[in-house]
Structure 1
């Protein structure tokens, strides 16, 4: 039987950053480089930590995380940009953290415990979020992160329409 657990919340971002990390670990201290041969730009993984980039510099974005036991399929109709990358969890429980770990959002337990997972990061209105730059009251850009067990595979861009995704794919 297929299981999908989804949580949604407003995520406060600073410096366009949020982090997916194992429960109890620290947020990364440096902005990791993109994959050298297959850049995806808006999500970067290093040392079992993922950095997620938003369009909005400072403020509140809409965020959903869906944890499942299989590939749920990309929402190509609802989002403008979609990228994928592999991620390894050491303990099978992850948090989504705001800037510098100031606030954490508990997520559903990963379906296969410790091991390799695929992250599919969806974004809509990143360009508008970047133009607005700062918004504490109104959600401008929205994100969906899907997580399911999958062995290591090549990062890939599923859909790319925003200038923000193009920019971050070219930034090292």
Structure 2
């Protein structure tokens, strides 16, 4: 489990990449998505609403698909991923370094990832780590036997 205030990287991104992967040559994403996956780069990107500052982030690895948690969240999206290493870390793309020692996953394999968000549309321009952060994320990860299509971003409640 990871629970931290993460500094948003340039381009309104929270990039997570398999350890020992080369610096990404391009960034995945489609307009409107908040969660994108690029298998060729083992790169998972959360696109934030704020371009600068910190956001609240929590990641939970589950042994099986957890129930949906719509209460308290405004948006949700899911993607399938496949990692060849058990180390998937938060990365600073400008400095080419890993920013957290904690991995999103405990072992390699195929995972389904569900991301919840609140405050992405709040218009808050700069929040600092340690503040009562308006923009927050909950990422749930669990092993999956067969890859499924991405679930488009949708509004909750």
Whether contact under 8 Å (2:33, 2:152) holds in the other structure is: no
* Equivalent position to 2:15, from 19, 39, 56: 19
**In terms of mean alpha carbon deviation, does 11-20 or 149-158 score higher?**
149-158
Structure 1 residues 45 and 80: CA distance shift in structure 2, 3 A: same
Structure-1 residue corresponding to 2:116: 122
Distance in 2, matches of 1:76 and 1:12, equals 25
**What's the offset of the Cα at 1:67?**
0.9
Matching of residue 55 in structure 1 with residue 61 in structure 2: no
Q: How does 1:87-106 map to 2 (within 5 A)?
A: 87-100=81-94, 101-106=96-101
TM-score (norm 2): 0.82
Structure 1 residues 98 and 124: CA distance shift in structure 2, 3 A: farther
SS across alignment from 1:83: strand
Deviations 1:3-37 (A, max 9, x none): xxx22001000331011211222442322143xxx
* Equivalent position to 2:61, from 58, 64, 67: 67
* Equivalent position to 1:10, from 5, 27, 41: 5
* Equivalent position to 2:149, from 150, 154, 157: 154
The structure where helix makes up a greater share of residues is 1
Unaligned ranges ≥5, structure 2: none
Structure-2 residue corresponding to 1:134: 126
Matching of residue 76 in structure 1 with residue 73 in structure 2: no
Computed over aligned residues only, the root mean square deviation of the Cα atoms, in angstroms, reads: 2.2
* Equivalent position to 2:33, from 11, 35, 41: 41
**In terms of mean alpha carbon deviation, does 84-93 or 24-33 score higher?**
24-33
SS across alignment from 1:127: coil
Distance in 2, matches of 1:10 and 1:160, equals 24
SS across alignment from 1:75: coil
Whether contact under 8 Å (1:94, 1:106) holds in the other structure is: no
TM-score (norm 1): 0.76
Whether contact under 8 Å (1:67, 1:108) holds in the other structure is: no
Deviations 1:28-57 (A, max 9, x none): 2322143xxxx8711111122111111111
**What's the offset of the Cα at 1:158?**
6.7
Unaligned ranges ≥5, structure 1: 1-5, 162-172
